[in-house]
Structure 1
């Protein structure tokens, strides 16, 4: 890497850390949660971008990976007393009922457990392509959610888990987000990353150059799932309560929206898009409530912020000069049309 570029990136990192330190000191708890949520979305967006954007795999199973990470972290960090209060309908499995880990080993285990599930899922389905792969990964995501609903003694079923310790502080969320950016950047600048880009551009040419398509796709799938599990663990820790309905397909679509808006295959775009989308969703929340203009009161319409947010996204896509976003939108629409 060019020395000047390295110095500029280090300076940018130092400035970002300083800004986060100031925000952590001056912001109230609620705005600070939004800032931390932006960091979690950065991790989730980069994990999906690695699979969909850099490798060219059309995977829709991200919500399932987040669910595995969130439940793993919650089960490992909750106190035995709190687990006993949650599992009042059916006792928890004794081994897990008396288990309590620190947050760091728990969040790492969440990543590894999610990666293991990705290996089990990826081994049979990554031989599929395009819409078939999308349908298969979406199906496995739904299977994970249904299993969580029906494993009362492990996940507490549809009741979910409450009272999860909040370890998702600014240091943890943004520290892991920055680490994710660094690791994904190093991966994509390595020979493996170049191989993944080659697979996305032309699988036949990549195979002719001696690249093992299946092993590289599987590696990308597993690494992406690992970071998705970490992001899910952080999300569950910040929310304090999780249940299977939280991890429906719409959650996958929200992350996919961030990836496409930032540009598929762009690390910087995913970071910026995750921050903008998270802050915009909260900034428009006033549209769901009554607005008093002094001379007239406009009644709130639930869901109006989503309508306005969608219109803003449409305008951005229409008038944005960056062809990367337009190509990403076109590719996404094309693949969705195939899956129909």
Structure 2
């Protein structure tokens, strides 16, 4: 407990220094680590702790991004942005602070998660995964065609630059605290029982559908929060790209598998590694000079590397870095003790 109380202000000090001393590029990467951490932890609650395999996470992130953007853009910006059809009332005349827009984004994403989870969670296994993938694609198609709400294929541009280190890591702290408290409550123990043996959990009197739906909706809420932060980090939402498509769900899956499926600590580590590698591997998509030979970069090469990494981890290291374990000071001390004895 004492070490935790020391660690929290230390992390806050490091974040302050990164915001003040590092250039904007590195500061944005640190912010992205926080956003990816929220995405990964929220999906860990669904895929890792409750034991259902969802492929619709990107849909909730997109809902959160659109909702927050429509609430933070000024009426004048909306007037200039919506060229094909005018934005519907009352969205065309509303502008609220970023904090409340983010909360509402999470709530709207949670409503979508409930509407999707209510029919889909009656399915199991691969059928549920396919159903959530289908609903995610439906959300993307609606975003491409609802000109009076999402501005269609033109998307939303020039979003206010609200997302910074403090917003991202502050919401990450809220997300981790909420999911951890749930994971180690009676609700979380029921979820783990369902994950291990659905039939046995049901025989013990656990309402499987209610517990999984609650976890799915809560995961959707925090996915919407991350979508709000991510949209304002990017400062644009373009449905023609795969920024909020199935590729994003695939990326978040890599994070939680890399860190350890079922580990909240592992999800954060996986998000941090993914954010770092996604920036470091950019050189693969640009011109390279190797041993005097000039090689043109290949667009999308980073994703090929990530795909290969995902396959290798699934084959040779299926438990990831943390498995289902969580970080603890006692565990860290025991590691150092073992190394010292050697």
TM-score by length of 2: 0.89
C-alpha distance in 2, partners of 1:305/1:123? 36
C-alpha distance in 1, partners of 2:218/2:102? 15
User: CA offset at residue 212 of structure 1?
Assistant: 0.8
Unaligned runs of 5+ in 2: 324-342
1:226 aligns with 2:205: no
Compared with structure 1, are the counterparts of its residues 154 and 305 closer, same or farther at alpha carbon in structure 2 (3 Å cutoff)? closer
C-alpha distance in 1, partners of 2:85/2:98? 26
**CA displacement 1:231-259 (0-9 Å, x = unmatched):** 01100011111022332211111111111
C-alpha distance in 1, partners of 2:4/2:189? 22
**RMSD (CA atoms):** 2.0
C-alpha distance in 1, partners of 2:228/2:130? 25
1:247 aligns with 2:236: no
Q: In structure 2, what is the equivalent of residue 265 of structure 1? A: 262
Q: In structure 2, what is the equivalent of residue 335 of structure 1? A: none
User: CA offset at residue 297 of structure 1?
Assistant: 3.5
C-alpha distance in 1, partners of 2:136/2:27? 31
Larger % of helix: which?
1
**CA displacement 1:195-217 (0-9 Å, x = unmatched):** 11111011122112221111101
8 Å CA contact 1:284–1:305 kept in 2: the answer is yes
**CA displacement 1:26-85 (0-9 Å, x = unmatched):** 111122111111110100001111001000111111111011100000000000011011
Give runs of aligned pairs for residues 22-37 of structure 1, distance below 5 A.
22-37=17-32
User: CA offset at residue 264 of structure 1?
Assistant: 1.0
Q: In structure 1, what is the equivalent of residue 327 of structure 2? A: none
Unaligned runs of 5+ in 1: 1-5, 329-340
Q: In structure 2, what is the equivalent of residue 58 of structure 1? A: 53
TM-score by length of 1: 0.89
Q: In structure 2, what is the equivalent of residue 179 of structure 1? A: 174
8 Å CA contact 2:143–2:152 kept in 1: the answer is yes
C-alpha distance in 2, partners of 1:315/1:119? 34
1:48 aligns with 2:43: yes
SS at match of 1:244: coil
Q: In structure 1, what is the equivalent of residue 285 of structure 2? A: 288
Q: In structure 1, what is the equivalent of residue 62 of structure 2? A: 67
How many residue pairs align between the two structures?
Answer: 321
C-alpha distance in 1, partners of 2:312/2:120? 36
C-alpha distance in 1, partners of 2:235/2:91? 19
Q: In structure 1, what is the equivalent of residue 122 of structure 2? A: 127
1:191 aligns with 2:186: yes
Compared with structure 1, are the counterparts of its residues 255 and 121 closer, same or farther at alpha carbon in structure 2 (3 Å cutoff)? same
8 Å CA contact 1:67–1:244 kept in 2: the answer is no
Candidates 208, 212, 233, aligned match of 2:207: 212
User: CA offset at residue 326 of structure 1?
Assistant: 9.5
